[in-house]
Structure 1
Amino acid sequence: MPTDPRQLRADAPLLDAWLRFREHPPTPFTIPGHKQRTDLVGDVVAGDVPLYAGLDTMKLTTGALADAEARAARLWGADFCRFSTGGATHANQAVALAVAQHGDTVIVSRTLHRSLLLGLVLAGLNPVWVQPEVDPATGLPTGVAPGEVRRALATHPQARAVFVGDPSYVGTVGDVAGLAGVAHEHGVPLIVDAAWAAHFGFHPDLPRHPLQLGADAMVTSAHKTLPAWSQAALVLARTERFDPARLDAGVEATATTSPAGAILASTDAARALLERDGDKLLGDAIAATADARQRLRSVHGLTVLDGPDVDPLKLTLVLAGTGADGNAVEQDLLAAGLPLESADRDVLVAVVSLADTADGLTALTDTIIRSVERLRDTPRPVVGPAAYRLDPVPGIPPRDAFFAAAEPVPIDRAVGRVSAELVAPYPPGIPVLAPGEQITTATLNALEHACRAGVRIAYAADPTLATLRVTAT
């Protein structure tokens, strides 16, 4: 049975405040300018209650937000928790500002989301890149190996922190406990961008979340796998290797001063639901996804990611063995009202959450099977996204490149120049080029491969890629 949100309000102070505002609406002489009227621009503003003079007083006298964050910290086993209305992007950048000083070196997985790489620009940190291992059978990453981080720390003993992303965008899970052990051997914190893992640790068939595995801080997106508003995220930390005041300052420095109360209240409600009913709801979703995997494995040539090192609620399919083009499969799914998280020529990614139903997964599976069989062609070699195979060549620090005088150059004359911009196939937003890196032939080949695979290239100043923005000589 669906949960009545009012049943959660006793354990969710922000949700309770949002419901009370809706039950007894005031006549506000504050922002937002719609003044709770939906007769002007419609229901697009319905439920938009601010934090200030909404969920709380303008002076925050009730402490509802602090109470909700403390409850989330207890649930995740953290000393520190802050809610974000700017998604994991805001949370990643807040952690980057908190972990070290301008000019310091940090060890960073090269396949992290663009938000963290731009956090390095904001904080003035200098990355030493480490690469995840790649499964040759799928071309997809399996996680950064602890030995890779150990070698990087041995070569760069001045490093102040280790940043990794886990699970990966495609749902593969790495050895976070091993990474934490290596980082702590060197006396530095492990920070995990766990944007896709808000549900981890809350069902026995799911991996444990990073804090349970020894990480010092984790960023997670409540809106990705929990029933929260878009942009809802959390930053959680243990403070043995973190200054909580510095982390709090990092959050405030990069946050809006007009946070959307509905986003905050939905984070609080999702936390309360996860704590109360998560095991049951997640169990049902895991069982339905396992049934979908079983059916999809029967399709000749279709590779279905599965096993103990894969998120049970991430449905990732590799199409190379079927010869079908994933972009065409996506069109069939869109026509059926079943949009995917990601689709390119070779890989389809479907996100399943505790809000999904067995009927919905059956419809998705039926449509994929029909589409693949209709589009079946000569099998292709497995290639995998090019971003996972790049070996970046450092040029100058990312912050220096971002603020340097820059100029556009034709892409065929860009090799050897230093990039002043970030360029990433999206999704998943893993940069092929980051500010400060030298542009190589491999870089251009990776961009060409992504374009041929039907992936949107994002964030480039010239979206046609006829030119690239480089530091001026």
Structure 2
Amino acid sequence: MVPISRVVVVSDDAAWQSDVLEGLDEAASRLPNSLGMVFVGANSAEATMTLIARDGEIQIVLIDNRLSEEQGAAAAVALANRINAFRPELSLYVMLVDADEKAVIEALASHAVDGYFYRDELDSHGWFRILAAELAEKSATPFYDALKHYVNMAKDSWHTPGHAGGDSLKASPWVGDFYEFVGENMLRADLSVSVPMLDSLLHPTGVIADAQALAAKAFGAQQTFFATNGTSTANKVICQTLLTPGDTVLLDRNCHKSVHHGVILSGARPIYLDSSVNRRYGLFGPVAKAKLFDAIDRHPEARVLILTSCTYDGLRYDLVPIVEHAHLHNIKVVVDEAWYGFARFHPAFRPTALESGADYVTQSTHKILSAFSQASMVHVNDPAFDAHLFRENFNMHTSTSPQYGLIASLDVARKQAAMEGYRLLDRTLKLAEELRDKINATGAFRVLELTDLLSEEVREDGIQLDPTKLTVDISASGFSADELQRELFEHFNIQVEKSTFSTLTLLLTLGTTRSKVSRLHDAMLRLAKQQRPPRQPGRLPEIPHFTQLACLPRDAFYEAGESLPLLDDEGRPNPALLGRVSCDQIVPYPPGIPVLVPGQIIDDAIITYLHRLLKAQKGVDIHGLIEKDAEYLLRVLRDEELATLPARHFGD
């Protein structure tokens, strides 16, 4: 299948533009054109912007530097900057009259322009070849291509992995079906560092380095690193790179548990910031901007600020002022953008965290683009980046036998995002709007809007909602969340992303189709027609506020401690836990926010909260508790262990 790659020639000089289009069309008919370049004209800046907003198959724009006689080069500069701000993945070339004009463009729009032609040297074949090379470079998948090439070379395997390209499986009467299920190419491509031509993820100098460089350009980073252990590992690597024992780090208490694990590993001193809470729906949002600014001002010694944007439910910070305020205090900003890695490729989602000035960004490419599970990226824009230190920490966590299929999927996911991300995301946005309207029309289900999701304390913080994440209020349907998920799964073959006591979350991606939207709408319409009486709204117990650290999380975690029952002999909260210091991270799911972290002092509100969860919320898992003989235990520091730990000031 040959793609379509549209090239726009922008000029109000109709005769010149006609000659250019005719010449490029003639070149396309005579020269190899595997990427399907076709050429169209636009006669003004506004017509160009309308065209690139409507047509996701546009890849390159050629701007006549004499676009406007009155404005001269200024008109071309302005248009180049507008295009780059709207769709930065497009390649831009400017048609010059002389070298002096190039100096003007370089001074005002060098970040946006990829190359130049001289308008009066009409070399259609030469221009065509250059544009074809530009497209080929942008659409290249160096690692994936090398992997395919190696598999096609059909080398005998005398190296790891042990299945030897699937040969140990395919003739087996016991496990031969696995060979058929997974497929020959997947198994042949499961290789190792024993194949030098495929480079090394731990020290890339070849095709992996090339693939990462293309990803950095596509996502707007100085450097990009591929991670095959998921964003969980990426977050830990960054924590260990930027933080040393005793360093202060500001972080959203609602961040992913991997960030908390990174704090333990680094030995840092965390300042936990309570997130905003929508108590009606049991949803947790961003930290209030005033709270963030106050924490930054009160802790100028902090080395790092870590935020999650967007949240699981699609809420994203107005990052620019927050990053700027942190940078005024020389605080590095790390953004966990696991759920928002596609944002660079459509203006409806921007600015991204990198565009907002973040120093480090982690993304779960597998969650929101077309990479395999566990495939993630780390993007770096830190001007003081220590590449050696980062690599040492990266290698500490990365397997020496990474799955090469994951690396290939990152290469492919980047290519798709760069070449057709705008078109696919535009389709996804339209499907999200269509699905929202259809769900609301059922009468029993309603998609929550931004105003529904925000708590009062963050309403003026400039927070935005990712429209591809739909949170559906199910309270009027008469179904509990568990019942509704079960009905959708068992009777309609539909699996949703997550739920709270009164909501379902639907995740739309590049892979969402109109057929899937239709099937989901049909299912919800049928369920709504049952006209069940509304249920009494449920409610999770309110998470208690963070108490105080008695020691560094790392210090508490690595002590042996002792295990005490959460409840006493009569099934009530155990008073022996009051004032003790937790050794572990205790995380109820949902909502996934640690109620205790290592080193934190336990109070009555925390014990009561955990007791209520265990008693009333059967669908909640509590990670970190010890389950033994039908009893829940909590590991806490012994008094003598706490006494030996370094004396530090832990008040916020």
1:355 is the counterpart of 2:520: no
Shift of the 306–50 alpha-carbon distance from structure 1 to 2, 3 Å rule, reads farther
Q: Please, which of 625, 633, 638 is the counterpart of residue 460 of structure 1?
A: 625
Which amino acid in 2 is paired with 1:403?
A: Y
SS at match of 2:343: coil
Deviations 1:200-240, CA, capped at 9 Å, x for gaps: 12112224321011111110001101111110001111122
Indicate the structure whose relative CO is greater, using CA pairs within 8 Å and at least 6 residues apart.
1
Deviations 1:412-445, CA, capped at 9 Å, x for gaps: 2234322211222346643232222223343345
1:274 is aligned to 417
Equivalent residues of 2:502, 2:537 under 8 A apart: no
2:481 is aligned to 326
TM-score, length basis structure 2 = 0.67
Q: Please, which of 540, 558, 565 is the counterpart of residue 410 of structure 1?
A: 565
Q: Please, which of 236, 243, 250 is the counterpart of residue 393 of structure 2?
A: 250
Shift of the 170–446 alpha-carbon distance from structure 1 to 2, 3 Å rule, reads farther
Which amino acid in 1 is paired with 2:593?
A: I
Which amino acid in 2 is paired with 1:29?
A: W
Question: Larger Rg: 1 or 2?
Answer: 2
Equivalent residues of 2:198, 2:207 under 8 A apart: no
Q: Structure 2: any 5+ residue segments left out of the alignment? A: 5-33, 36-135, 451-462, 568-573, 640-652
Shift of the 433–374 alpha-carbon distance from structure 1 to 2, 3 Å rule, reads farther
Residue 278 of structure 1 and its aligned partner are, at CA, apart by 0.5
Find the aligned partners of 2:152 and 2:347 in 1 and give their Cα distance: 38
Which amino acid in 2 is paired with 1:361?
A: V
SS at match of 1:259: coil
Find the aligned partners of 1:371 and 1:156 in 2 and give their Cα distance: 52
Find the aligned partners of 2:220 and 2:405 in 1 and give their Cα distance: 25
Aligned-residue Cα RMSD (Å) equals 2.9
Find the aligned partners of 2:343 and 2:618 in 1 and give their Cα distance: 31
1:186 is the counterpart of 2:186: no
Which amino acid in 1 is paired with 2:312?
A: Y
Find the aligned partners of 2:538 and 2:349 in 1 and give their Cα distance: 28
Equivalent residues of 1:153, 1:186 under 8 A apart: yes
2:194 is aligned to 53
Find the aligned partners of 1:465 and 1:19 in 2 and give their Cα distance: 53
Matched residues, percent identical?
29
TM-score, length basis structure 1 = 0.91
Equivalent residues of 2:281, 2:501 under 8 A apart: no
1:259 is the counterpart of 2:415: no
Q: Aligned residue pairs: how many?
A: 471
Shift of the 234–465 alpha-carbon distance from structure 1 to 2, 3 Å rule, reads farther
Matches within 5 A, 1:235-246: 235-246=378-389
Q: Structure 1: any 5+ residue segments left out of the alignment? A: none
Residue 249 of structure 1 and its aligned partner are, at CA, apart by 2.2
Shift of the 426–51 alpha-carbon distance from structure 1 to 2, 3 Å rule, reads farther
1:472 is the counterpart of 2:616: no
Equivalent residues of 1:81, 1:235 under 8 A apart: yes
Equivalent residues of 2:264, 2:557 under 8 A apart: yes
Moved more, 112-121 or 445-454: 445-454
Find the aligned partners of 1:393 and 1:13 in 2 and give their Cα distance: 50
Q: Please, which of 474, 497, 502 is the counterpart of residue 341 of structure 1?
A: 497
Deviations 1:385-412, CA, capped at 9 Å, x for gaps: 845x643433321101110122221112
Q: Please, which of 289, 297, 304 is the counterpart of residue 440 of structure 2?
A: 297
Equivalent residues of 1:217, 1:236 under 8 A apart: yes
Matches within 5 A, 1:427-442: 429-442=592-605
2:468 is aligned to 313
1:25 is the counterpart of 2:191: no
Find the aligned partners of 1:121 and 1:339 in 2 and give their Cα distance: 35
Find the aligned partners of 1:299 and 1:385 in 2 and give their Cα distance: 30
SS at match of 1:107: strand
Find the aligned partners of 1:465 and 1:79 in 2 and give their Cα distance: 51
Moved more, 143-152 or 81-90: 143-152
Matches within 5 A, 1:217-228: 217-228=360-371
Deviations 1:220-263, CA, capped at 9 Å, x for gaps: 00110111111000111112243233222221121111111000
Shift of the 2–151 alpha-carbon distance from structure 1 to 2, 3 Å rule, reads farther
Find the aligned partners of 1:16 and 1:386 in 2 and give their Cα distance: 52
Shift of the 418–301 alpha-carbon distance from structure 1 to 2, 3 Å rule, reads farther
